[in-house]
Amino acid sequence: MEPRYVRYVDANINWKYVDWQAWMLSDIFGDSSINEKLKGAFSRMEVDWLNLYQEILRIELDTEANKMFNTIYMNTRTTMVYHVKPTSGILKDIRKQIEYNIDYNFENKTIEFIQRVPGLTADTKTNGGKLFGEILQYHEIFEKADVIRMSMALQIVLYTILMKSRVWHKLVKSPPAKKNNRLQKLTDWYKQFRHDYSYYILSDSCPYQMDIKDLRQLRDTVYYTHENNGYVFEMAEKNDLKGLKEVLDRGFDVNSRNGKRRFKSLLHLAVINQNEELFDLLMPYKPDPNVPDRFKMTPLFYAIEKSDEKMIQRLLQMGADVEYRDEHNATPVYWSIYCSTLPILKLLSSHGATMAVTCMMNRNCLIKAAFMDKYDIVQYLLQFDEVKKTINDADQRGRTPLHAACWGAKGGREGKKLAGVEVPDSEKSLEYLLDAGADVGNL
């Protein structure tokens, strides 16, 4: 998977809408651990479809067997009082009953078809005719099958493989004209599956085959149409805590993000508005402190921007990642140097944050601190051996910390500026750097 794709999804789309199969099966089988077990299983370059099908089928049979046990056996007083658990023998017998309803002959033929298809989808221009023939041949098998007896494992694997095939999408939009070539039953099943699980399947195309343009459309579908959670965020902004609590109690995902608010979460709003009441309200629902917004900034970045030491402390206690990187590859430490103070930097350091970090353009913390005339931070950073090793490191423009410290109010074409405002030389930073062994020869 391309890094650019991963970065875009991280910043703009909840992964569950991309990796929808794991999310859907987790809900259907009522086991959240399934989401973690199958995460990314359908996105790999080379998927072992047989093993994947067998793994999902095992989960399906185990889940159904336990449900049936609870229905048949747990209605007696003894089992209810003593919380009797099914023995392996009982579960085995129940599984046999469930398996009796599955047409394994048809399932095996379908898996054989599924294993042949990926090699043909790699080059549609060359193998389009062969793939069409494979689909026609399989449809003859599908027409004779009892769709009701298909396992969920087979359905989701079959749907996914068809979804990944461009030839199949062309056939669905423009069915063959000849009667003996029509794929009516398979097409009807495919469309019905898409309709039945439209809550999870938000696009006809496979998310892992989308370009950035298609991903933007998926993002808009998720946040402007599918979730439509703006009213919840309005409650948070208006400090309607009673109404917000009612919504959260009904099961609203506390980690949901809102597209119109640059994909910020409720925790982002609490931090940005320095609303401790809202922050306290969210705590029982266990919000994730590392949910990023559109700029890949977690709530910790905004707490640092506000120099809100109390909020920072609380976020760190929740498990906020002190090494998280935003879209410019900056960590909370780098961000604190840019827009906060030494006490905040020390607080991050006390929680194990790395001081020797670089962001975009290979610019390290010493360069940034010296550039901004934050000599107290320069002095503090030079106490760390890991930072001292970077004292002569240059960024992509060839500028070292010494350059940043003595660039000059009128140096360069327009002088040294920060957000349009001229920044003075940093004489004290220069002294600290030279005392620490900065090489003047690099100037």
395 to each of 360, 383, 399, 432, how far by Cα in Å? 9, 21, 5, 20
Asked if residue 113 is part of any domain, the answer here is yes
Closest CA to 155 of 120, 196, 119, 183: 196
For residue 304, tell me if it sits in a domain.
Answer: yes
Residues 356 and 304 in one domain: yes
Instruction: Quickly tell me which residue has 């933007």 as its tokens.
Output: 216
Does 232 fall in a domain?
no
Taking the C-alpha atoms of residue 193 and residue 197, their distance in angstroms, rounded to an integer, is: 6
Q: What is the pLDDT along the chain (443 residues), one digit of tens a residue?
A: 567 777 777 777 777 888 889 989 998 888 888 888 888 888 766 788 999 999 999 998 888 888 777 776 555 544 444 455 667 777 777 778 878 789 999 999 999 999 888 655 545 566 677 888 888 889 999 999 998 889 999 999 999 999 888 888 888 877 666 655 578 899 999 999 999 998 889 888 888 778 888 888 888 888 777 777 889 999 999 999 999 999 999 989 999 888 788 889 999 999 999 999 999 999 999 999 999 988 889 999 999 999 999 999 999 999 999 999 998 899 999 999 999 999 999 999 999 999 999 998 899 999 999 988 899 999 999 999 999 999 999 998 888 999 888 874 444 434 556 656 666 778 899 999 999 999 887 66
Does a structural domain hold residue 225?
no
Residues 36 and 54: their CA atoms lie apart, in Å, by: 17
pTM for the model: 0.63
Q: Is 239 within the bounds of a domain?
A: no
Q: How many CB atoms lie within 10 A of CB 43?
A: 16
The bridge status of strand 421-422 relative to strand 417-418 is antiparallel
Q: Name the token pair of 52.
A: 């994947």
Residues 153 and 268 in one domain: no
Contact status, residue 267 vs residue 299, Cβ threshold 8 Å: yes
Which amino acid is residue 182, in one-letter code?
R
**Which residues is 422 bridged to in the sheet?**
417
* Three-state secondary structure of 155-169: HHHHHHHHHCCHHHH
193 and 83 in a single domain? The answer is yes
Is residue 138 one of the residues assigned to a domain?
Answer: yes
- Rounded to 10 degrees, what is the CA torsion of 263, 268, 269, 270? 160
- Give yes or no: residues 60 and 155 share one domain: yes
Looking at the fold, whether 42 and 123 belong to one and the same domain comes out as: yes
Q: How many residues does the chain have?
A: 443
Task: Please check whether residue 115 is in contact with residue 50, taking contact to mean a CB–CB distance below 8 angstroms.
Answer: yes
* Residue 167 forms part of a structural domain: yes
- What's 297's domain CATH number? 1.25.40.20
The answer to whether residue 231 is domain-embedded is: no
Question: If you write DSSP's letter for every residue of 330-376 in order, what string do you get?
Answer: --HHHHHHHHS-HHHHHHHHHTT--SS-B-GGG-BHHHHHHHTT-HH
| Tokens at 10, concatenated | 């991280």
Report how many domains make up the chain.
Answer: 2
Same domain, 10 and 127: yes
Q: Which domain holds residue 343?
A: 246-442
- Identify the bridge partners of residue 364 per DSSP, sorted by sequence position: 358
Residue position matching structure tokens 């901004």: 372
